[in-house]
């Protein structure tokens, strides 16, 4: 793997995570997919390595990782299991990034200090039954009552919802135009009136629990609001910009893992008295798969360098490009990998069909790739 602009600590982290993934993730990767089991044992492993809390600054007791670090970790783990990769830095989107970027100093000391211990799991609740990309149609409401907000409504497809300790909930607090009037709250999932529905049965990432969640007069202290009242959509977009490259990193790792499996199988599989890796058709497929993945990787770490240097000019569009291109690449590469395996690739005796199933979600969540293309085009037309 090219070292790009990585510093020594990035390379050290990458190598440590690679060894950890081989030891702790590889032995259970197929089993958690087969049984749809959340690998709870990895929480301690990841937390002890600082991987759950990677983005917590050192001043609040964390490792002080940057976007490049987070993406390197996700890429390495995703080569073996996307379900496990999604657990790494799980609390970034739901807690660390919103508090770090929009929280008060008191919120930072409390929540970042808690996250720094490496055991806190979080989720983000935006999507509703009639509200996907159209956030302005949100029906969940929060009404002020004294020193609290009373929350009512429901969300669907909440990743890590059944196991989260805190959920960043977006709810309408006033009637405004478009996305104005939407606020964000950190909800402790032990709060009375909060409940989780039946877990969703998914095509892929089966080791990651998803479920609908419900709010029945859930009372949230006013100090749990993150950012200014009614302006949470802007909070959401800033955090999504930072999180989208991590989706790209997961997709790149997934694609590389599929390539590695396909190349190994091509060397071992014999047809017509020869290894199929000697056939030009297979060689062309492998070459295209690696070129596409390497292009996505270059785009990814160019984007992370922008964020780590605080270069925000054009970052939002670049983050969308990374998420879109890398996830499209992973879908194509994993599909081609199944083709190289032939009939065996369609069987669950080999992990490659899991890679293909897992790849699809990256084109959908954190903003569909159609939405990413809109963001990119609008940036182009403005500038």
Q: Beta strand pairing status for 210-221 and 148-159?
A: antiparallel
Query: Which H or E element spans position 204?
Result: none
* 366 included as an active-site residue: yes
Q: Please tell me the total number of residues recorded for the chain in this structure.
A: 383
Say which residues have a Cβ less than 8 Å from residue 12's Cβ, sequence separation at least 6.
none
What are the structure tokens assigned to 347, written together?
Answer: 């069987």
Give the active site residue among 75, 82, 128, 366: 366
Nearest Cα neighbor of 246 from 308, 323, 318 is 323
Around 254, how many Cα atoms within 13 Å sit in the side-chain half-sphere? 37
Cα–Cα distances in angstroms (integers) from residue 211 to residues 34, 94, 179, in the given order: 18, 16, 25
**CA 231, 232, 235, 237 torsion: positive or negative?**
negative
Task: Provide φ and ψ at 166, rounded to 5°.
Answer: -135, 145
Rounded CA gap, 188 and 151, in Å? 13
Environment class of 133 (CB within 10 Å of its CB; exposed 0-12, middle 13-18, buried 19+): exposed
- Letter string b/e over residues 270-293, b meaning 16 or more CB atoms within 10 A of that residue's CB: eeeeeebbeeeebeebbeebeebb
Question: What single DSSP character describes residue 36?
Answer: T
Q: Beta strand pairing status for 141-145 and 148-159?
A: antiparallel
Q: Beta strand pairing status for 194-196 and 210-221?
A: antiparallel
Query: Catalytic residues, which ones?
Result: 366
């Amino acid at each position: 793997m090219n070292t790009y602009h990585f510093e020594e600590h990035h390379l050290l982290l990458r190598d440590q995570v690679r060894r950890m993934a081989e030891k702790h993730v590889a032995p259970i990767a197929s089993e958690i997919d087969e049984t749809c089991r959340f690998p709870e044992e990895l929480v301690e492993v990841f937390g002890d390595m600082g991987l759950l809390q990677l983005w917590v600054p050192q001043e609040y007791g964390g490792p002080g990782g940057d976007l490049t670090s987070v993406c390197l970790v996700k890429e390495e783990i995703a080569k073996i299991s996307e379900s496990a990769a999604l657990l790494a830095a799980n609390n970034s989107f739901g807690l660390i990034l919103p508090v770090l970027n929009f929280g008060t100093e008191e919120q930072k000391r409390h929540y970042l200090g808690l996250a720094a211990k490496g055991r806190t799991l979080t989720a983000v609740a935006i999507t509703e039954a009639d509200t996907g990309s159209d956030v302005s149609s949100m029906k969940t409401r929060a009404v002020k009552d004294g020193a609290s907000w009373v929350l009512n409504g429901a969300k669907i497809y909440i990743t890590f919802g059944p196991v989260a300790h805190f959920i960043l909930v977006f709810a309408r607090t006033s009637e405004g135009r478009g996305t104005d009037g939407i606020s964000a709250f950190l909800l402790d999932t032990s709060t009375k009136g909060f409940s989780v529905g039946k877990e969703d049965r998914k095509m892929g990432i089966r080791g990651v629990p998803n479920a609908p969640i419900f709010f029945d007069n859930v009372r949230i202290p006013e100090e749990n609001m993150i950012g200014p009242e009614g302006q949470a959509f802007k909070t959401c977009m800033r955090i999504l910009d930072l999180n989208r490259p991590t989706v790209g990193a997961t997709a790149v790792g997934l694609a590389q893992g599929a390539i590695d499996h396909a190349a190994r199988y091509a060397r071992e599989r014999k047809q017509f008295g020869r290894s199929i890796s000697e056939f030009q058709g297979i060689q062309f497929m492998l070459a295209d798969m690696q070129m596409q993945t390497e292009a996505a990787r270059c785009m990814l770490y160019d984007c992370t360098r922008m964020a780590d240097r605080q270069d925000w000019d054009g970052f939002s569009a670049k983050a969308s490009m990374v998420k879109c291109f890398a996830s499209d690449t992973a879908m194509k590469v994993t599909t081609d990998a199944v083709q190289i395996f032939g009939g065996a690739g369609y069987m669950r005796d080999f992990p490659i069909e899991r890679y293909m199933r897992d790849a699809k979600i990256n084109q959908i969540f954190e903003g569909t790739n159609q939405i990413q293309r809109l963001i990119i085009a609008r940036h182009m037309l403005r500038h």
